[in-house]
Chains A and B, each alone.
Chain A
Amino acid sequence: MIKKVLIANRGEIAVRIIRACREMGIETVAVYSEADREALHTQLADEAVCIGPAPSAESYLSMDQILSATMITGADAIHPGFGFLSENSKFAQLCEKCNITFIGPKSNVIEKLGNKSEARNTMISAGVPVIPGTTEPIFDEEKGALEAEKIGYPVIIKAALGGGGKGMRVAKKPEEFASAFQTAQKEAKAAFGDDTMYIEHFVERPRHIEFQILADKYGNVIHLGERDCSIQRNHQKMIEESPSIALDEELRKKMGEAAVKAAKAACYENAGTIEFLLEKNGNFYFMEMNTRIQVEHPVTEWVTGIDLVKEQIRIASGAELKFRQEDVKLTGHAIECRINAENPEKNFRPSPGTITDIYLPGGKGVRIDSAIYSGYTVPPYYDSMLAKLIVHAKSREEAIMKMKSALGEVIIEGIDTNVDYQYDLINNPDYQSGNIDIEFIERL
């Protein structure tokens, strides 16, 4: 049984984990950098250990410092949160060697899923759909056209050494293939001095749909429904919701089963997320598996009523899952907005500084996960996320209204935030009608 958890993280997720531990009667140890002496997680935990200077590489990423802190405080488990060392298989392995419970999957599983091609192969052999593409390099157009036909149009032609969009062309129809291939190859040759090409199916304006899964040490795996995280800026999620209006019961079942299959194939254990790209025609493809708790986990918690962090700790201490798939019911609709210290008018430049005044909304169906308070100084060294505002209501429409109202109440003075930007997104008619995909923000 876990008695004391060291939280190898900072910010709201550290606070979230401390709260879960406290509710379970588990002692907590916070670690903090010199820049985080006044941080909420430092103050809230039962014990706190300074692990180094402000830069993450010398503190929150410093494995030996964190191990030392674990030893001297006598913690028996480490919760890595997200980011930092959470998906570092070497760190997980060190914990295993030192007889520390790493709250997450086994190190070899993290490693396997972190390797893109290995993860892809695992999924292919488990029968989980991946984006079809050539495995062998293609040099000539005729052979390429044959492969493209097999893969299915539209296709994207990519230079093996490609980057920055160079040597990349989309062919929507077979008639376009020849010229697209020639241009891409010519460009590749000129830019990289190499004309090795790959062809893969082009997933047009997909949605980002991810499935939360829970797996215990005894091979029981369930999914907790999906999250629609299509509202992204530069691959950074901004709004997440559950359930997704793009999924009907049938598709949810199909994708959920694929997610469970994926987790089983990877011998997964603890909480994890399978990310898919969903095409308009209902085809979906495995992208990657995140082997940690995610920022957007509260939307799932709200529609399923399951506390994911507590489940993580239970699973890590060897408990069996208490529910089966049929026990999981999605109730109502939850939406999360990430509130960041950044200025959308200045190209989302981070805006560290001291929060002079703060008011955060509340009331029925409103949840705030944050680590900020009046007088808190947002350090410039870390991620700019300040808080997560999550709402829950019976329907999506109602949830949107609630989010609008809640965002309207947020007051954070002293630094720039993206609250107004989020307010505009929520009010966007396309968003409200659910007409979204991962290029939504790009098109604004």
Chain B
Amino acid sequence: MKLKDMFKKTNRKNYISIHSSDNQGRPEVPEGLLKKCNACKAAIVTEDVKSNYYICPKCHNYFRVHARRRVEMIADEGTFEEWDQGLTGGNPLSFPGYEEKVKALQEKTGLDEAVLTGKAKIGGVETVLGVCDGRFMMASMGEAVGEKIARAVERATSEKLPVIIFACSGGARMQEGIVSLMQMAKTSAALKRHSDAGLLYISVLTNPTTGGVTASFAMLGDIILAEPKALIGFAGPRVIEQTIRQKLPEGFQKSEFLLEHGFIDRIVEREEMKEVLTEILKMHERCEDKTGGCTDCCSLVKEEEHTEYKGLTSWERVQISRKKERPVGSEYIKELFDGFIEFHGDRYFKDDRAIIGGIARFHGVPVTVIAQEKGTTTKENIEHNFGMPSPDGYRKALRLMKQAEKFHRPVICFVDTPGAFCGLEAEERGQGEAIARNLYEMSSLKTPIVSIVIGEGASGGALAIALADEVWMLENSIYTILSPEGFASILWKDAKRAKEAAGVMKLTANHLKSLDIVERVIAEPENFTTANLQDVTDKIDAYLAKFICDHAAMDVETLVEKRYQRFRRI
């Protein structure tokens, strides 16, 4: 039975009337209560947008945020102190109508120029803050913007403060011509001095960050964060399309694209931005105590139990080291450290998932953690390329180590790789060069490095993150010149003789300890899986505490000299 129009006795209207006359006391939507989302076109309650970080509650589109709102969202309440108020630029090209335009915008926005700079506390940490405002000529950088940023950075350098800049810009300001171009040089130079003073700069890219701003201060952060789906690029997409006469792929030049291509450390949702910035700032606060409050770590470390053989052959250990159930790098990170913040990308070409890294705390001490990651499920195995790094992975690792050096953080590496990735693209981008570069740079890195072989440590692919002050091995991990299969096939032209090869290669932890290649062998429980991972991490924890404590006291020259001799003697 269809009900349609069955109820004849109802005074149904078959049209919808709009009541326009006699609006006295009638329902009415007050001006400004609702607005339209420019992405999903839906009507949304203005108040919801404001209380929800200027994000569309329906489609999650990010609206642009005015500079002062941004400061309110990021800085601790009432802590923002504005600098260089009233600083404006000139009209170097005598560009007609330019001064009037600037004046009109000043009145409309209540801002002097397209950037707001000053000092604030974020999560209690004092920092210099710069925020671009897109309403002001698309926050293009002219003399005033460049000057304000340069001054803020210079002042941060002299006051020894970190800098955070929220970029949002169309690029250099056309109306000021070559003077605008020079602002790229000026801001970059100021940031170089800030960096050379050992200070932290976090760049946050928001939609859109393009042109001369991308090609200067926006891309120079020690850490570069971005809001989701922000357009970030040098040349704008329209210009590229017109030049090459091709349609650009979906998602091109968006934050996610840049993350994949290694140019940003992390995409951070707006709701979490303050929390993430606070965490990063706190991890970079000057911390005198590098011992992690360790007072009696030396007594914590019992001499390791004798792990002599347990009747296993070398080949059996090779097989154990490759077991699918064996804990992987990320699981050690989770177990051993607090507040791990992963950073992505090599800043050249790609974010290689075969190596993961970032900063974390070890008993309160900020450290840099790098791990070769295999993943646990098949899907993860593929995502992490089974732990076989590409040159991009090694370059990311080196970038993070250099960052650790700058901020005096110890570096902890977890080695677990069947070897560096063997493939066309790897060679094209210089696999050999990347490994060599790591050895070269790590040999004189001015901060302690410890590498722990947790599974397979095969070949140069493993050594590229194991040129360390100390190398430790899990009892059933292996460390070799190459896989037993490869060894057998090169020497005996028969990969099937891998078992025999394993027997002669001296690749087990105990062999390597007796050859003085590694410092420690860490005992494993039987049937080692994530379920009993803690048995192992408890030991690593104690050894790491001692390592960090011992090396914190060491001066840099001694540290580097000892590392040099560690390999020189072999």
Known: A49-B16, A71-B28, A99-B26. A43 touches B1 (CB 8 A): no
B34 at the interface (CB under 8 A from A): yes
B2 at the interface (CB under 8 A from A): yes
The tally of residues in A whose CB lies under 8 Å from a CB in B reads 30
Determine whether the beta carbon of A373 is less than 8 Å from that of B3: yes
CB interface residues, A 270-319, toward B, < 8 Å: none
Give the size range of B's interface with the partner: 20 to 34
**At the interface with chain B, which of A73-81, A111-119, A235-243, A399-407?**
A73-81
**At the interface with chain A, which of B4-12, B121-129, B159-167, B173-181?**
B4-12
B18 nearest in chain A by CB position: A72
Determine whether the beta carbon of A74 is less than 8 Å from that of B4: no
Question: B25 contacts which chain A residues (CB < 8 A)?
Answer: 99
Known: A64-B42, A72-B18, A76-B27. A38 touches B2 (CB 8 A): yes
Determine whether the beta carbon of A67 is less than 8 Å from that of B3: no
- A373–B28 Cα distance when bound, in Å, is 37
CB interface residues, A 42-87, toward B, < 8 Å: 43-47, 49, 63-65, 67-68, 70-76
A360 at the interface (CB under 8 A from B): no
**A100 CB contact (under 8 Å) in B1, B6, B10, B27:** B27
User: What 0/1 pattern do residues 1 to 44 of B give for CB contact below 8 A with A?
Assistant: 11111110011110011110000011111100110000000111
Known: A64-B42, A68-B43, A375-B1. A75 touches B16 (CB 8 A): no
Determine whether the beta carbon of A98 is less than 8 Å from that of B7: no
A374 at the interface (CB under 8 A from B): yes
Determine whether the beta carbon of B16 is less than 8 Å from that of A72: yes
- A99–B23 Cα distance when bound, in Å, is 11
Known: A72-B18, A94-B33, A375-B1. A46 touches B13 (CB 8 A): yes
A157 at the interface (CB under 8 A from B): no
B43 nearest in chain A by CB position: A64
CB interface residues, A 2-61, toward B, < 8 Å: 27, 38, 40, 43-47, 49
Determine whether the beta carbon of B33 is less than 8 Å from that of A43: no
Determine whether the beta carbon of B16 is less than 8 Å from that of A73: yes
- A170–B44 Cα distance when bound, in Å, is 48
Determine whether the beta carbon of A97 is less than 8 Å from that of B33: yes
Question: A47 contacts which chain B residues (CB < 8 A)?
Answer: 12-13, 16
Question: B7 contacts which chain A residues (CB < 8 A)?
Answer: 43-44
- A374–B5 Cα distance when bound, in Å, is 16
Question: B2 contacts which chain A residues (CB < 8 A)?
Answer: 38, 375
- A435–B221 Cα distance when bound, in Å, is 71
B336 at the interface (CB under 8 A from A): no
Determine whether the beta carbon of B16 is less than 8 Å from that of A99: no
Question: A67 contacts which chain B residues (CB < 8 A)?
Answer: 29, 34
B498 at the interface (CB under 8 A from A): no
Question: A71 contacts which chain B residues (CB < 8 A)?
Answer: 27-29
CB-defined A-B contacts under 8 Å, sample of 20: A27-B11, A40-B3, A43-B5, A44-B7, A44-B10, A46-B10, A46-B13, A65-B43, A71-B27, A72-B17, A73-B17, A74-B19, A76-B27, A94-B33, A94-B45, A97-B30, A98-B30, A373-B1, A374-B1, A375-B1
Q: Which residues of B contact A (CB under 8 A)?
A: 1-7, 10-13, 16-19, 25-30, 33-34, 42-45, 48
Q: Which residues of A contact B (CB under 8 A)?
A: 27, 38, 40, 43-47, 49, 63-65, 67-68, 70-76, 90, 94, 97-100, 373-375
